[in-house]
Amino acid sequence: MADSSSAQRIVAGLRTWILTAAPGAQLPSTRTLVAQYGASPVTVQKALRTLGSLGLVESRPGAGTFVRARSATRPHDYAWQTAALGAPRSIPPMSAALRAVPDDMIALHAGYPDRDLLPSRLVRAAFARAARSEAALSRSPAAGLPDLRAWFAAELGEAAPFGVAPPAPADVVILPGSQSGLSTAFRALVGPGQPLLMESPTYWGAILAAAQAGVQVIPVPSGSLGPDPAEVARAFESTGARAFYAQPTFANPTGAQWSRTRADQILETVRRYGAFLIEDDWAHDFGIAGTPEPLAARDDSGHVVYLRSLTKSVSPSVRVAGIIARGPARERLLADFQASSVYVSGVLQAAALDVVTQPAWQTHLRSLRGQLGTRRDLLVDALQEYAPLVQLDAVPRGGLNLWGRLPDATDVTRFARECENAGVRVAPGTEWFPAEQTGAYLRLNYSGPNPGSFAEGARIIGQTLEQHRQD
């Protein structure tokens, strides 16, 4: 940490010097900079590399480091691209949940688990083995490695009740992460300009994928118990939609978990209207009180298209997901995926399969449930004590987030900015509504780093909210 700080100090000092130096001027030697800044030669070289990456200096082997000559050419003119590109498409910006934070910031905004919650040892060993395997040198089949497809099919099949045929490996297509799966599903099963039912609020990535696919999003109100089956039926009836994107288990951001009765009613509605239910089971591995049965396990007629990702639970570097669909829908999904990505890296697939088939994987999941439960309760208790104005409709039984409602008059965007200025980053709820937001909400991740800072984070949120109300 000290070396990094010293390197930044050297960069700042040299940048000031460069502004007044002539192009081609030679920078002081490494020995001189070491003495001037009291830093090690390694730290000085790190600072010089940073300046080089900024285009401010250039190294000449055997001669030294020099101020790069500033370009005297005319400014580039890209005005012609305005006509060539045409009117801009309305694509939502990337979520605040993906933003990196300084080390001293309390991070309650992220959408990924902390590294301490990942099976690090299993992942490193799996990559080492995958690098030595044939997967490192060969092309994967378009639909994915047969053994990995069989694993996804078997996992869902284990939850299938008696009398419902389990999926086959041939029903599975391996994709590079669930975001790719959403885009593929919306293009292949819905299509540009066609209606797609979507819970509101819902996952911001699904809203982004729908915008990119050009589908017409039809919001269906959803709360801590999920959407009202009658509302789903009315939306199908009034719009003629043939697909419904939903998260029946630990929805992001609400944490909602559909009851068995509600799930059966919605599934029956989907069947009645001859439609698809695109089930996003992103939180399959994050059940605190156990792993609920996916809705897809009770459907063998091809109405439920099931998306299951390993990225969040295995590693952010393992961008691997499986989508399970039966009948012609599977062929359309595969054709769309091949047109955009051709196939998924065999090394990533082999590493993912290695991790989830190790006996230690189940041991890790049992430990993960306990850790998530402890973190969730810690953040809930902190909010109740220090930020009572943040109201939770329900405490989720799984997932990674809390969904808190703020007083109606709260300017959520401004409030999030004020929290960040005070040292805690939160995710404003505006990003999770596919249409107008129905209230002031905040999403808080309890799986992020340093759970010991939750109390301080909640205190800052509470104080900022009080001050915000008084302004």
Mean pLDDT of the region 432-447: 92
**Domain assignment of residue 108, yes or no:** yes
Same structural domain, 269 and 168:
yes
Comparing 468 with 414, the larger pLDDT belongs to: 414
Rounded CA-CA distance 49/64 in Å is 13
Comparing 55 with 345, the larger pLDDT belongs to: 345
Same structural domain, 294 and 190:
yes
Pair type for strands 195-200 and 441-445? unpaired
Same structural domain, 334 and 393:
no
Q: At 261, list the tokens.
A: 């009765």
Task: State what percent of residues in the chain have pLDDT above 90.
Answer: 69
Show the CA angle centred on residue 353, arms to residues 170 and 130, nearest 5°: 120
CATH code assigned at 444: 3.90.1150.10
Full domain range(s) for residue 132:
120-357
The predicted pLDDT at position 104 comes to 76
Same structural domain, 343 and 367:
no
**Domain assignment of residue 83, yes or no:** no
**Domain assignment of residue 443, yes or no:** yes
Mean pLDDT of the region 193-222: 95
Mean pLDDT of the region 292-308: 95
> How far, in Å, are 109, 315, 404, 413 from residue 408 at the CA level?
21, 37, 12, 13
**Domain assignment of residue 73, yes or no:** no
**Domain assignment of residue 78, yes or no:** no
Q: How far apart are the first and last CA of the chain?
A: 38
Q: What is the total count of domains within the chain?
A: 3
The predicted pLDDT at position 340 comes to 84
In the numeric block, the tokens 């570097």 are attached to 317
Of 321, 338, 357, the position where a domain reaches its end is: 357
Of 228, 257, 245, 252, nearest to 312 by C-alpha is 252
pLDDT of 470 above 60: yes
**Domain assignment of residue 36, yes or no:** yes
In the numeric block, the tokens 């505006």 are attached to 430
Rounded CA-CA distance 226/304 in Å is 17
Same structural domain, 352 and 290:
yes
Of 357, 380, 407, the position where a domain reaches its end is: 357
Rounded CA-CA distance 461/459 in Å is 5
Of 296, 325, 357, the position where a domain reaches its end is: 357
What's the residue count for the chain? 471
Same structural domain, 370 and 353:
no
pLDDT digits 0-9 by tens, 240-257: 999 999 999 999 999 999
Tell me the pLDDT band of 96, cut-offs 50, 70 and 90.
low
Bridge partners, 443 (sequence order):
403, 427
Tell me the pLDDT band of 59, cut-offs 50, 70 and 90.
confident
Bridge partners, 278 (sequence order):
245, 305
The predicted pLDDT at position 3 comes to 66
Answer yes or no: are the C-beta atoms of 252 and 281 closer than 8 Å: no
Same structural domain, 180 and 289:
yes
Peptide bond preceding 201 in cis form (omega within 30 of 0)? yes
The predicted pLDDT at position 100 comes to 67
Phi, psi dihedrals of residue 68, rounded to the nearest 5°: -70, 140
**Domain assignment of residue 89, yes or no:** no
Phi, psi dihedrals of residue 60, rounded to the nearest 5°: -120, 110
The predicted pLDDT at position 93 comes to 67
Of 389, 394, 404, nearest to 443 by C-alpha is 404
Rounded CA-CA distance 204/257 in Å is 18
- List, in order, residues 6 or more apart from 409 with CB less than 8 Å away: 440, 469
Rounded CA-CA distance 138/40 in Å is 45
Same structural domain, 63 and 33:
yes
Same structural domain, 299 and 429:
no
Average pLDDT of the chain is 91
Tell me the pLDDT band of 95, cut-offs 50, 70 and 90.
low
The predicted pLDDT at position 319 comes to 94
**Burial class of residue 93 (count of CB atoms within 10 Å of its CB; 0-12, 13-18, 19+):** exposed
Same structural domain, 36 and 144:
no
Same structural domain, 368 and 349:
no
Rounded CA-CA distance 365/382 in Å is 26
The predicted pLDDT at position 464 comes to 93
pLDDT digits 0-9 by tens, 401-427: 999 999 988 999 999 999 999 999 999
The predicted pLDDT at position 330 comes to 95
**Domain assignment of residue 53, yes or no:** yes
User: Which amino acid is it at 429?
Assistant: G
Ramachandran region, residue 59 (left: φ > 0; alpha: ψ -120 to 50; beta: rest): beta
Phi, psi dihedrals of residue 294, rounded to the nearest 5°: -65, 145
Same structural domain, 399 and 344:
no
CATH code assigned at 7: 1.10.10.10
CATH code assigned at 127: 3.40.640.10
Tell me the pLDDT band of 378, cut-offs 50, 70 and 90.
very high
The model's pTM is 0.82
pLDDT of 469 above 80: no
